[in-house]
Each structure stands twice: as structure tokens, then as C-alpha cells.
Amino acid sequence: MSRPSPSTTSASGGTGGRGTPSGAEPVGHGVILLLLLLVLLPSLGASAAPTPPPGPPRDDCVLRIASGADVSGGARERALQAVWNGVGGRPRACFVAISSVADEQRSAMISAAQSKAGHYDVYNLDIQWIPEFAEGGYLRPIDTSEHGGTNDFLSQIWSAGAWDGVQYAVPFNTDVGLLYHLGDLREPEDWRDMTGLAKARRAGPGSTVLGLTGQFASYEGLTVNALEAIWANGGDVVDANGRVVIAQKEGVEAVGRLIETVRAGVISGETLGSTETESLTAFRKRHALFLRHWPYAHEVLSGESKSGGVAFRAAPLPWQGVLGGQYLAVSRHTVRRDAAQQLVAALTGGEAARLLYHCGGFAPARVSALYAQPESGCGGSSPAATPPEPATEPAAWPGSTPSPAAEPESEGVRPDTLLRALTQARARPPSPYYSQFSRVFRTEVHELLGCWSLGRKGCEDARTFTAGLAPKLRKALAGG
């Protein structure tokens, strides 16, 4: 079955025509205008010319990896040195930090790929970008012979690097949401249990504490949180065959339960502007009972709890979580094909995964890295607790923002907890048009939740909302 190709749109718009004046201008004005045009035309012509792609970089890097900003506390560079640059006879490789804002990363990488200049040999892609880059013809298939066995990867983590049956990318690091709760609360069994616990605690006299806080602002974080909430309540948005099914009975009921959670105040209007930073801050200040967040929050909270901070516990989400992470892919236009394939294999191998996890705080894509220390050691680096800046699309941690550095005594998530969370995680709907899908989905969901949180009249019920949303999502996934 053929798929529509992602369209390339120009950022520039057309200029409208101007009518010819009906009367003749005085000669003096005409002369002045002619002189002005003679002066300005060269500069106007220069500014109208298209901006050429960037020239070859001037540095000592032979292999260049396009990526976001390093948020690993130096562990990413340590891994590169340990498994590649420190090995004799290999061409020097460098991470090229494009931006900490994921939308800017994606745009810059696509521009570079479309220019066919070959300035980047490897792309470090967010998991949801892989279909877009693969369908656009920007990637070379992975030479799996360089990777040996892949049994060390969880199946859903490895398969997320494939598109149309071809492996285009290899997991570099991964991520998944966890549910944090105050230490005097028990771990909830499911969504209904969580809302019940929150309602009971919030029913106390004068209680202003939030029930559940998370990433509910209108950006990629809301797409992730809303997908998880719908999955938690037995519904789906897009099924395994790529069909939009949110308007089916299970989807309608799941959206209805999400609306009820908002009406009950468990998810309040105050949280609808929250990104990773605001939600973590609310929980740190004991203003929320439950927090949906990423594993790096554990390091921040555990460090603070030993010096009087909030007492908390963390567990896998008691429902399916969204799988996050970054993948390495070989550029279609690299002139160093073999070396680029070998570099990807080295950086996604066991030692690199151990360094990224134990020294940088990244959830590893390889299961074995959870239980084995890196052979080369961390060299004094400590797990990072500073995710990238807010973006409309996720960066190293989906949609995350900088948070205070973890205390020296901070602790990461227990390996068994992380493994349980990763095992039940699920990828976002794979599509070359995921960005359009996410934009439509989160915009509509945010408007719905905002209406119900304010108690307005005329808010759409679940059936009306899903019936209207489904065709918009189908259009987005078709590239419209």
C-alpha cells in the first residue's frame, strides 16, 4: 500500500499584485523614485535570494551527530570517548548540539536532510520523528550485522526504530512515565482508585491540595498525558493498524471518565498550564497528591527528601505509559556510510548504555545496563537531573524543562521499577505526520478540559467531542 509523502511547505508567502495608478505622477517624484530604485534594487535582489544551506563545518570532527543539547551531565561525551574516540584508528566523531528546543532540532535536521549537503552523518532522533525521516528518504537502513544480537532490547523499544518493516534507527536511550505519590498515601491500583484516593484526601476541611498534577499545558506533554489517561480508562485513540478509533464506544467512555476527573477537581484548571517544571514544583512543595512525571524527577526528589524535602514514593504507572527516548539513525547523504553505521553500533552498545544510565540518568534501552556498572566508570560525573527546555515537541525527555540539579545524595529509580514501567510502555501512533496529529489532538483536548475545569455552560460531552475529533485526526494522519 502506498503512503502519501510528507509535504514540504515553504515558509514564505506570495506577494499580492498592485494596481496601476490611473493618473500620471509629476516628473520630480518619478525621478526620485527611479533613483531610490537604482539604489535599493541590488539589496532587494540579494535579500530575495534563497538562503543557501550552511557550508562545511570548520572543526576537527570527521563524523558529526546532529542532536539536541547534552543534558546528561557529560555522560554522553564520556560514552562517545569510551566507545569510539578513545579507540585507536577511528575517525573522530562529535555531537553537534543544534538546540535544546525539540521543534528547532527537528526543523534544523529536516532542512539539513533536504539540502543533501551531507553535513551530518548521524541523526539523534526523538522516537516519534523516525517515521517522518524514514518516509522522507532522509535515512539509510540500519546494517543490523553491525549490532549482533538485539535480544537485550525490549521488543517494543527495538521495533519503534522501524518503519514499513525496515529498521532505520537504533535506541540510544529510552524513557517512560512514573506515578509519584506522597509518602503517606498507598500506591493506587488503577485510574479509578487514584481518583478515589485523591477525592478522599481533598474532601478534608480547607484542603487546597491538587489531586493529580502532570504535563497538561498545550504542548507535547499533554499529548502524552492525554493518551495515557485514555489508555488508563480502557479506550484508545489510534489502534495498532493506524485507524482512528477514539469515537468508538471504549474511546467515548474513556474521555467521559477523563472529563469526570476534571469535574471532580482531581485534575484542576490550575494544572492545565503545567509543564514538567511546574508539575514537579507543585509536588515538591506538597501542593499535589499525585504526580505523573519522568524518571529524572526521582533524582531531584530523593536528594531533597534527605534534607527535609517531600516524602514520596514512585512506581510504574498503573496503566500503559507512553514510550519516549532517542534513536540514532544514519543520514542518507553521508559519504562515510560504513563508519557511520559502525558509530551507531558503538553508541547503542552495552557499554554506552551503562554509561548513559549510571552516569547520566538516562533510562537505558538495553535491559542489561540496568544491572551492570560501566567498565570505564563514571569518572566523577553524576546523574543528570536537568532536562531540556520546554518545546511543543519532546526533547530528551518529552516536553521537559530545566529543573534544579539533584543533590549529591540523590538516587535514581530502582532498576526493577524502571523495567516494569518500560515493559508495559507503548509508543505514540507511528506516522510521518505525527507532528500534525499531536498538534490537533492536544489543542482539542486542552480546550475540552479547560471548558469543564471552568464549569462553563455548553461544554461538549464525550460523545460530541470524540465525534468531532475523529475526522480531524484522520485528516492530520493523512497529511492534511
What does DSSP say about strands 166-167 and 162-163: parallel, antiparallel, or unpaired? antiparallel
Residue type, 385: A
Host H or E run for residue 251 = helix 249-263
Measured from the Cβ of residue 369, the count of other Cβ atoms closer than 10 Å reads: 25
pLDDT band for position 325 (50/70/90)?
A: very high
Question: Mean of the pLDDT values across residues 215-233?
Answer: 96
pLDDT reading at 453 higher than 90: yes
pLDDT band for position 380 (50/70/90)?
A: low
* Residue 290 · residue 318 · CB < 8 Å: no
pLDDT band for position 432 (50/70/90)?
A: very high
pLDDT reading at 32 higher than 70: no
Under 8 Å CB-to-CB from 154, ≥6 apart: which residues?
365, 367, 422, 423
pLDDT reading at 381 higher than 80: no
Q: Give the whole-number percent of the chain exceeding pLDDT 70.
A: 80
pTM: 0.80
What the block records as the C-alpha cell of 381 is: 560525573
> What are the tens digits of pLDDT across the range 92-102?
999 999 887 77
- Name the more confident of 12 and 456: 456
User: What are the start-end ranges of the H helices in 96-166?
Assistant: 102-115, 130-135, 155-159
Q: What is the mean pLDDT of the chain?
A: 83
> What are the tens digits of pLDDT across the range 18-31?
333 333 333 444 43
Q: Report how many helices (DSSP H) and strands (DSSP E) the chain contains, helices first.
A: 15, 12
Question: Mean of the pLDDT values across residues 37-47?
Answer: 38
pLDDT reading at 373 higher than 50: yes
Q: What pLDDT shows up at residue 308?
A: 86
pLDDT reading at 198 higher than 90: yes
Q: What pLDDT shows up at residue 296?
A: 86
Question: Mean of the pLDDT values across residues 163-173?
Answer: 96
Q: What pLDDT shows up at residue 409?
A: 58
**Distance in angstroms (rounded) separating the CA atoms of residues 441 and 226:** 9
Question: Mean of the pLDDT values across residues 319-329?
Answer: 97
